[in-house]
Structure 1
């Protein structure tokens, strides 16, 4: 009984052993009761007419009925073992042990009470009955050590004492023999029980290790397929889900779509408020996206501020636009960060099967292209890949191939547009603008081939060729020539490219103070810290730094104050209707005042009429650039315009 209590109190291993005992005993129990019934019936029959009916009929009948009842109870309980708790099993084992002791006492008392009836053979039958029955029962109770030992004591002690007291040498020998055999059986019982316990513990330990291994595998699978920050599935899981749509090389029989989300303005939040705030924002983005997830829409974080969508069942493009609009609206709501409130937007590009592609890689690439197109043309909205985009891809492809095979030194040229002091009408500098005349494609728009070069990693080679031509122009034009040269986001993000630019300027012999490097606001938003470091490196070279297209990106006063700037160029979008647009006048006046306070030169782009010049001068603008003062022209047409450089650090 004490061992049963210990098993109950020992969570884990003890309870497992107890349950194993219960299961094993439930299989042996029918045999135990069958032995009792058969042996008891046999003895009762040999004593009918010899012993009183009470002992030969009624008592054994009652005992056998009790065995049958217990057998029926166990048969029913065995089916319920899976649903039994450890405490319920322990209670049933305790009850069984007590019943075995009680039944052992009753059967022993009944057997010994029959001894005085009948002749020598009947007496021998009683001795045989008791010895063979107890041996059989002990074997049936091998899995329950406590019950077996109690039954052995309950039967063996009275048996040995009773038959030893008869004085009959045969029965005394039987008693002694029974004691010795029982001791051997007890030894076998203890050994068997020990091995059984060890086996159960070993099996339990193995199962525990297996569960730990499965849990570890599940955790590894989760870590390998889930994003640790947002809890969403990660890129690997997303791409596998997408590939599963094309399993066994068969095309799906339904329409579905792939979407890619990119957060507009996340980089600025990260730079301005720190990575912790950026992580908080991404966590909230994840929570908002989870609200849209369903069996038909799977969402994953692809990396950084990019998320993937898999629309598994789509009926019409309108349905995609509605879902995309709802997602973009949800992500546009304010974000409460630890120390600030931020607002961003999200652009979503979508590619539908089979219209946009017929394999996983093509669909993902075209969803990414739709996103790229959307960020340039419809930032903050949903763009579905269309035939127009397909044409653009083909155009991009042909331009890229021609660019890779081009003789850049021969085919690339620079045109120059003057930057003028409006008070004197004299050019103070020239902006170098790239031109490409391809023998295959003809004249290609700079807006197109520069974008292609940036996306295909050819931009560094183009920059090197064009800078070389600009430096040569400066050497040929004399010390009065000042040039503004544009750098791409890829240039300032590459330490190797910045080092190459430094080496070219130093090797040219050109005074770096005559050279201004222009970068756009959007170029700085790619990686502010790396961009600032690159501009500082060029500033130490002696060159000037100009922030181009100011007012169209996400720059803040804080960011501008941290950049090593000399000039700020106001985007042409503020100038086109400035004569009648009071709001534009107010913005330009504020920018001019900002530049004056920060000791920066302010240049107005896109000036085309005298009316615009008059308004801009009233607002305090001095330096201007635009078609009014001259269109971009080849090198030879620009020399006469160059005079002195504008003021500024």
Structure 2
């Protein structure tokens, strides 16, 4: 009985809520004038959002969905906009104003149903990004309509209820967490905006009736502050998310790391930091496009997130690098197990279009307080462990250890010495003979950079070249040493060539390559007697730029060799697209060629491939007579290595060239 007595009142209140009020003619006129200024914006919002959705689906959805239906709707909207604009300055009475507001109120429902149903028709087409665009269309449209209809409360409520009902039913039942979250979020935000709209409408009515003006202004100000705070909180949340993978970003990672370090310092507890980097990610971008690379990163982020728990935090640090923070159990067994799980998850294939791609991941860990006193030190040592893992065991896990601590300390000392080094005095070149197998004759030399520091002693190129690249001095070093090597090569007999190594950074700019060409052209050495060696790493950094640089060098007449072929990630298609003249087989395939079937197969394949492509081959690292004899049978014609000679000083090159057939150093 009580419910029956309440029901008529509820029905009456609902009817008033969804109807245009007509109890105050002056208020109706004011409402109409304010609303008439918003109508063009309303139709503009609908049309632009609709056009954007059609454009995104133009190649995957049918024309009736992307052209005919929206075209007709946009035409109707344009006509109504023109009508409202043409009558905006025409004075109308309260009855006319009420009639036009009422007609708009009746149109709100059908328009909302049409737009919602039309946009949902796009869901079967496209991928996740397209479905997200549909969700974005519905969300941004309903929010825009709420604001544009703020002076016609009933229409705003009708649109909001219809669209949010469609969003809730559709997205909440998809089973896709992202869409469910978006649906829930849109519903909440729309509800908040409706609250604001109702308050705005109430304030509008009170202001028009000149009642409690000061109180209404204060209330509006409080509501605006609340909206700004909500917007600020949302912006802060988005600022801590990676825009591509939607997992925590670099900023969030280091903030979390600082908090974990603070707790650990207070509670005398431990934590570990892991730094993970993908192996072979760059070729995915080069061969399949950046969209495929983005898809790969998103899938890997999802897999890593699935491995997280209450004590594991994962973030994307940038590029193809991810960070991990592990609390509580940081034993070696736990970290190695976690690293193995992460690497195994990363190694699974990722479906890209009709095919799939596959990469591996290397990860390094460091533990607090064993490996450092503050969060930054732990991160740096985890990054160094990652560097060691990529050198020693790509696709594996490395935990920072005392040996790495010694090496890291030594490397810092080298960096400090290099920054203050007198490069003109301390840098020098050694030359390793390159031998023609059939005759045993020296036909050229490879120039090898050496750095003798008064502070640290002799430093190999593998240690100081990365420092030179990092500090930006590598270009200067390359030019100095190339000029010195060419001055020596000019004194060699005709037919002797110089082989000179370039850094990856030497090929990264058009201007840098032109400087090298200027040095070559200014020398007395024929370009055909110069062989510049580039590595696979330099190609992978920017293949198109590397190809352009090689083409520039080849036009001058310089030979270009691909060094350490087979140790990186270059593909045969990339190799075919480079105007190379030589390949160099890395010593890692030669050192066990007598016992390793796979090494023999690789060397034989490269020799055969080079012959088919018309490329010369130089085999590095020949140290024993048995290796040399085996390479002869395989068809190798040019070699270098300690079997013949280690790198020698400049003044010894003439003795080698004048001695005819030098005696090999019999090793092994």
TM-score (norm 2): 0.65
Give 2:270's aligned residue. 255
Give 1:583's aligned residue. 598
Separation in structure 2 between the aligned mates of residue 197 and residue 329 of structure 1, nearest angstrom: 68
Give 1:273's aligned residue. 288
Is 2:478–2:502's contact at 8 Å kept on the other side of the alignment? yes
Give 1:601's aligned residue. 616
Give 1:529's aligned residue. 544
Deviation at 1:304, TM superposition (A): 0.6
Separation in structure 2 between the aligned mates of residue 10 and residue 541 of structure 1, nearest angstrom: 82
Give 2:452's aligned residue. 437
Alignment of 1:546-625 (within 5 A): 546-625=561-640
Give 2:468's aligned residue. 453
Matched, 1:319 2:334: yes
The one of 301, 307, 316 equivalent to 1:292 is 307
**2:256 aligns to what SS in structure 1?**
helix
Alignment of 1:403-414 (within 5 A): 403-414=418-429
Give 1:74's aligned residue. none
Matched, 1:232 2:247: yes
Separation in structure 1 between the aligned mates of residue 213 and residue 300 of structure 2, nearest angstrom: 54
**1:476 aligns to what SS in structure 2?**
coil
Give 1:419's aligned residue. 434
Give 1:345's aligned residue. 360
Separation in structure 2 between the aligned mates of residue 237 and residue 579 of structure 1, nearest angstrom: 52
Alignment of 1:356-435 (within 5 A): 356-435=371-450
Is 1:245–1:252's contact at 8 Å kept on the other side of the alignment? no
Cα 1:245–1:5 change in 2 (3 A) is closer
Deviation at 1:496, TM superposition (A): 4.7
Is 2:206–2:216's contact at 8 Å kept on the other side of the alignment? no
Deviation at 1:568, TM superposition (A): 0.4
Structure 1 unpaired stretches of 5+: 15-189, 644-649
Separation in structure 1 between the aligned mates of residue 543 and residue 219 of structure 2, nearest angstrom: 58
Give 2:532's aligned residue. 517
Question: Which has more radius of gyration?
Answer: 1
Deviates more, 1:236-245 or 1:198-207: 198-207
Alignment of 1:8-47 (within 5 A): 8-9=17-18
**1:316-340 C-alpha deviation (Å, 9 max, x unpaired):** 2322221121111111111111242
Deviates more, 1:433-442 or 1:423-432: 433-442
Separation in structure 2 between the aligned mates of residue 375 and residue 457 of structure 1, nearest angstrom: 23
Alignment of 1:90-109 (within 5 A): none
Separation in structure 1 between the aligned mates of residue 13 and residue 227 of structure 2, nearest angstrom: 28
Is 2:330–2:367's contact at 8 Å kept on the other side of the alignment? no
Separation in structure 1 between the aligned mates of residue 266 and residue 508 of structure 2, nearest angstrom: 41
Structure 2 unpaired stretches of 5+: 1-8, 24-204, 659-668
Deviation at 1:201, TM superposition (A): 7.8
Separation in structure 2 between the aligned mates of residue 325 and residue 242 of structure 1, nearest angstrom: 22
**1:149-195 C-alpha deviation (Å, 9 max, x unpaired):** xxxxxxxxxxxxxxxxxxxxxxxxxxxxxxxxxxxxxxxxx999955
Is 2:433–2:444's contact at 8 Å kept on the other side of the alignment? yes
**1:424-483 C-alpha deviation (Å, 9 max, x unpaired):** 222222111112222233323333333443444443333233212211111233544311
Matched, 1:264 2:279: yes
Q: Deviating runs (4+, > 6 A) in structure 1?
A: 190-193, 196-204
Separation in structure 2 between the aligned mates of residue 251 and residue 294 of structure 1, nearest angstrom: 23
Give 1:125's aligned residue. none
Cα 1:531–1:609 change in 2 (3 A) is same
**1:357 aligns to what SS in structure 2?**
coil
Deviation at 1:630, TM superposition (A): 2.2
Cα 1:510–1:8 change in 2 (3 A) is same
Is 1:426–1:641's contact at 8 Å kept on the other side of the alignment? no
The one of 347, 369, 380 equivalent to 1:354 is 369
The one of 232, 235, 253 equivalent to 1:220 is 235
Cα 1:597–1:410 change in 2 (3 A) is same
Separation in structure 2 between the aligned mates of residue 627 and residue 298 of structure 1, nearest angstrom: 49
Separation in structure 1 between the aligned mates of residue 267 and residue 519 of structure 2, nearest angstrom: 55
Deviation at 1:532, TM superposition (A): 2.3
Separation in structure 1 between the aligned mates of residue 583 and residue 611 of structure 2, nearest angstrom: 11
Cα 1:514–1:444 change in 2 (3 A) is same
Deviation at 1:310, TM superposition (A): 1.4
Matched, 1:475 2:484: no
**2:458 aligns to what SS in structure 1?**
strand
Q: What is the number of equivalent residue pairs in this alignment?
A: 468
Give 1:51's aligned residue. none
**1:477 aligns to what SS in structure 2?**
coil
Separation in structure 2 between the aligned mates of residue 333 and residue 613 of structure 1, nearest angstrom: 40
Separation in structure 1 between the aligned mates of residue 342 and residue 472 of structure 2, nearest angstrom: 32
Deviation at 1:203, TM superposition (A): 7.4
Deviation at 1:5, TM superposition (A): 4.4
**2:384 aligns to what SS in structure 1?**
helix
Separation in structure 1 between the aligned mates of residue 386 and residue 539 of structure 2, nearest angstrom: 20
Separation in structure 2 between the aligned mates of residue 316 and residue 456 of structure 1, nearest angstrom: 37
